[in-house]
Structure 1
């Protein structure tokens, strides 16, 4: 894709200026490891990087700008807020009804619960200065806006709200990025392609599309025929106009090329841990301490988000078929309702005392925390093409933890497990086969541990990052020749 405006302005650029990379992401970015690692890589190589993310004040991520330890600047942008929009209508209604001024409006739901991948956060923010300290949400008299937001009708009427909120991010992102004046834009996932295209056109700069998953074939709740059509049209235009495309697995790369008729296969940049985390010693592990288990217990680890379609129900069923000294330790975050359902499932199968929910640790500490397990379960239920062709973070985190891997038989996962000899795979729909596979692996884990230690030295973010930097060197063009240093050379020099 040619950018005459960019080429024409080359001579007026200040000498020695670092290339500016604007990174678009539709979440608060506090725990988006791929976005944070990519941004840090570009900054380390010599770019000025600014992430334009989403503010979630009630979750502790307000509107504003902060500089991260990596040198990357993170700017969180405001979004459309439904309660604020409803307040004027509520005020008019009360005046017309002769009820006087309304009380402060309580915001009851996080409108980004689907976009960020996290559960709904209950909030108690207020609009306008209250006359006295607000009562707890459970005791406060609901306002009109509260009742509207909580009504059953709202579940139908507010379905378009997600599109309104997303559009507000696009609008704020275009304005903020334009003010900053980037030399290239990085669009993370299909929900940032629209502003990336607009910025590329109006500013005359290239953009990179980073497909973290198979966007139009991802797992979504309920039927959404209109949204599916719109998303497909945006991705069709956006991916074909992009100066470069990167993605997370070989199968997704092939699908994108075949589906959209791309001249080149998207560049593979897998989401693996950095070399600093390779490999953890079992003595560094924390699972046994967190779960209160003794050295003689066999520990099967699950690390990652605790939610549906992660095979936890099947893993608990497999646990019931294993010896009584085998325990499942689950490391990660999950919604309370889902955790309760897992506990009930384990109770029903008679293994509640052998399933341990131990909470989460920072992403940089996951591999080390897992290290004293006897094996790690890597299970994504293939309910959509994006899941079928995924390369889960937990696969690489387990390898960096030096653990034998017991993985569901999905194409890209199988390729890693077999190529590096780090474990065995099982049929994703058969808990009994899963139990037999776990038993074989934990009975003789030594060769798998040795293979994992070797693989961890090869499967590092630094190696993946070199491909990302090559993409940027090509997309930026000759005007920025030599602007981005090789990352591995810097590491070797250090």
Structure 2
């Protein structure tokens, strides 16, 4: 979504949010929302901020600026401030130490290795130039002063050649060291991670993931300046930032409520490196106890969170459902609804499957590509192209060429989140081919509800929560994750009789509950319960 053109300030000191925008109205309380991204690509966060502001809360949403400057814009009645987040603690500790014990010949860092290699190249290039200049001068060309005799250049050339061999050896050793260090899974790394986890418990993130401090240091003063009554921390990184801000406010004598919106099951996420998961799990464990209430995206995840953090009550479930009645400013800024089939260059009688969302190995799009040769005449629309060039999208394009189905795979750009159901509705069926991952097993994703509101038959992999829901409603077929042959079977069943699956959406109340408007009522009821002395929504 394009929420509007941001205005930029220099890295200004924290200040209360601006007063422009809609006319002032009585407020039910100050709400700070926190998210660890740039907001514009996060539909759940956008919807939460808009709906809370519409319900009468004074909302400011803090996100991460993509530049070194503060950016501000509005989402309906909510203000957005994107704050620069330096990554001064991003380098891992081992990158700041000399690698004497592991590879004594390696440089301290790859940056230093690249510098040394390039500087030797420059020296050898200069010696070659001086030698060539001397030869040219002997032939009568100008510029002889830059050269030198062969004897005079012999020693520097021999030294440069020897230094080049030495530097390249050390650069190779540095590359090998980085390959070992990067994943943080070598025996010494695993032992260190286990030791810090044992000694510090839920405080171990300070050693394992010290860069989490960068979020706290970037946001703390801005949150405190707003003096919120309620902090809504989206996802696990902002849980700690929100908890610490709430504690500071409470210590000053103010009533500050904290809502943790758990988007993911952290232990089920794919780790970036060997310390990523234990570090983030410890961060979450330390700060979860400060939350006055927890919100999450599905009933199974709510159960896991209550059990894992010993919460006194089950988290409220706010589904990732689509907006069915977008605000006037959203409609005004949005382009006209595109025609899905026209973008694919096909007519209404051509069988069309659609997938909406990001592309990565765990999302399983390759399963559908591999199945297409056995589904002659069936086209696939991938609504996956962002404004930035995506390596994964290019990889999918190459995979389609290799499978001989490039003419039937259409890579299309995103549309505003509230346009998605209408945009997809002309397809014959929608696919969700997620691979088995602990986090996926608990999820009911955005695309599941967008596909449902589009009235599309579904082809979903056998990840637990989504598969159970589809079995219960009868809105689609299930196939084994990562199995192209089983996908072909399920696709043929759906395409043979799509009307059979579309009938499931006629079930009374099903789609009415799968809207953001219904979820916003759950969220507002939670805010109202936490701040019971506030006036009701206007």
TM-score where L is the length of structure 2:
0.68
Match of 1:261 among 303, 310, 315: 310
Aligned to 2:142: none
Match of 1:325 among 370, 374, 377: 377
Aligned to 2:415: 361
Match of 2:80 among 71, 74, 77: 74
Q: Deviations over 1:251-275 (max 9, x none)?
A: 1111111112222111111110023
Alignment pair present for 1:175 and 2:221: yes
Match of 1:49 among 47, 59, 78: 59
Bigger drift between 198-207 and 74-83 goes to 74-83
Tell me if the contact between 2:39 and 2:63 (Cα under 8 Å) persists in the aligned partners. Answer: yes
| Alpha-carbon distance in structure 2 between the residues aligned to 1:253 and 1:158 | 31
| Alpha-carbon distance in structure 2 between the residues aligned to 1:307 and 1:46 | 39
Match of 2:367 among 300, 311, 314: 314
| Alpha-carbon distance in structure 1 between the residues aligned to 2:234 and 2:390 | 29
Q: Secondary structure at the match of 1:309?
A: helix
Alignment pair present for 1:343 and 2:397: yes
Q: Aligned-pair distance for 1:394?
A: 0.9
Q: Deviations over 1:32-78 (max 9, x none)?
A: 11111111111111100001110002xxxx63353424110101111
| Alpha-carbon distance in structure 1 between the residues aligned to 2:278 and 2:208 | 15
Q: Aligned-pair distance for 1:351?
A: 1.8
5+ long unaligned stretches in structure 1: 1-14, 86-92, 98-147, 278-283
Tell me if the contact between 1:77 and 1:169 (Cα under 8 Å) persists in the aligned partners. Answer: no
Alignment pair present for 1:457 and 2:512: yes
Q: Deviations over 1:356-386 (max 9, x none)?
A: 2123222222222211110000121123x11
Match of 2:241 among 180, 186, 195: 195
Tell me if the contact between 2:229 and 2:257 (Cα under 8 Å) persists in the aligned partners. Answer: yes
Q: Deviations over 1:327-378 (max 9, x none)?
A: 1111112654322322332233222222121232222222222111100001
Matches within 5 A, 1:369-384: 369-383=423-437
Q: Deviations over 1:450-476 (max 9, x none)?
A: 433654333111111221112111222
Q: Deviations over 1:192-242 (max 9, x none)?
A: 122212111110111011000112321233322xx4333222222322221
Aligned to 2:499: 446
| Alpha-carbon distance in structure 2 between the residues aligned to 1:346 and 1:23 | 41
Q: Aligned-pair distance for 1:190?
A: 1.1
Tell me if the contact between 1:189 and 1:210 (Cα under 8 Å) persists in the aligned partners. Answer: yes
| Alpha-carbon distance in structure 2 between the residues aligned to 1:336 and 1:229 | 29
| Alpha-carbon distance in structure 2 between the residues aligned to 1:345 and 1:327 | 15
| Alpha-carbon distance in structure 1 between the residues aligned to 2:241 and 2:391 | 36
Match of 1:474 among 522, 525, 529: 529
Tell me if the contact between 1:404 and 1:448 (Cα under 8 Å) persists in the aligned partners. Answer: yes
Q: Aligned-pair distance for 1:432?
A: 1.0
- How many residues matched? 397
Based on CA coordinates, which of the two structures has the bigger radius of gyration? 2
Match of 1:210 among 242, 246, 261: 261
Bigger drift between 46-55 and 301-310 goes to 301-310
Alignment pair present for 1:244 and 2:293: yes
Q: Secondary structure at the match of 1:417?
A: helix
Q: Secondary structure at the match of 1:407?
A: strand
Q: Secondary structure at the match of 1:262?
A: coil
Aligned to 2:451: 398
- RMSD between superposed Cα atoms in Å: 3.2
Bigger drift between 368-377 and 353-362 goes to 353-362
Tell me if the contact between 1:403 and 1:452 (Cα under 8 Å) persists in the aligned partners. Answer: no
Q: Mark the CA change 1:302 to 1:340 in structure 2 (over 3 Å): closer, same or farther.
A: same
Aligned to 1:429: 482
